[in-house]
Amino acid sequence: MQNIANAETQTSLVGKLNGAAAKRALITGASSGMGLEYAELLAAQKVNLVLAARRREPMEKLAIELRQKYGVEIVVEPIDLAVPGAAARLKSSLDDKSLQIDILVNNAGYGLHGDFLDTSLERTTAMIQLNITAVTELSFIFGQDMATRGSGQILLIASILAFQPVPGFAAYAATKSYVLSFGEALHDELRPRGVTVTCLCPGHTETGFDSAASAPVSRMLRILTMKPRPVAQSGLRALSQGKASVLAGFMNKIIIFSNRLTPRSMQRAVMKSVTGG
């Protein structure tokens, strides 16, 4: 009974997706962090899943748990989307299994903290490949199918850092600016073709991002930190409502609104202080 109650609560919080029980979602970056939250929330709506990430073992463990809890079909696809051509290989693998993707959650991505010139160019370009190129390719490949059918949903994950330059996160913030601009433009392009595109902009979230990015966590960031579940809920709710973009968290909305009232030089200085740039 507790599982049923939890599922009903999650459904009401994210906004019920039309015909969710008949749908299949592809979640990239599904082995940890926010990917786990999207998987849980969608499975609670009886959405069948494809989990894609580099590490097979945590995805297999998650798949077992969600199958038992919600009775959904789950396919695990181990793949490194930072490798050129990976998106096409993933699509080919799903086509071979005759799996149609109705919801694409473009969650895979990571950040790098530190001065640009002190960071390995190889690491930076790999991040750009994952955060920009793979997101673009996946949106194109699966978006084509959705547009042909006249239905589909795509959730892109940007960041609060997308709204201004961020010293210390120069390349990462720039990749998220791309995702936000790309996502909002696609929202208008694909809406007449029956495809909803929504861009979620989280602030600092309690995931493994900081350790992966080798980033310090300032006192201010600790105050602003959100749990991953409400962030994921806000993204799926906005997707179900057909919004172009959404900022997760009231304080993050206040921060971005204040950007309209301050010069960009001040924005850079504030963000450098907050993020430890």
Annotated catalytic residues are: 172
* CA distance linking residue 232 with residue 200, whole number of Å: 9
**Which residues, in sequence order, are bridge partners of residue 198?**
155
For 64, half-sphere exposure in the C-beta direction (CA atoms, 13 angstrom radius) is 5
Task: Determine the length of the chain.
Answer: 277
Starting at the edge strand found earlier in the chain, the sheet holding 195-201 runs 74-78, 48-53, 24-28, 103-106, 152-157, 195-201, 245-247
Three-state DSSP class for residue 107: coil
Q: Mention every residue, 6+ apart, whose C-beta is less than 8 A from residue 11.
A: 44, 45
Q: Mention every residue, 6+ apart, whose C-beta is less than 8 A from residue 229.
A: 37, 41
Contact 200, 248 (CB under 8 A): yes
Three-state DSSP class for residue 84: coil
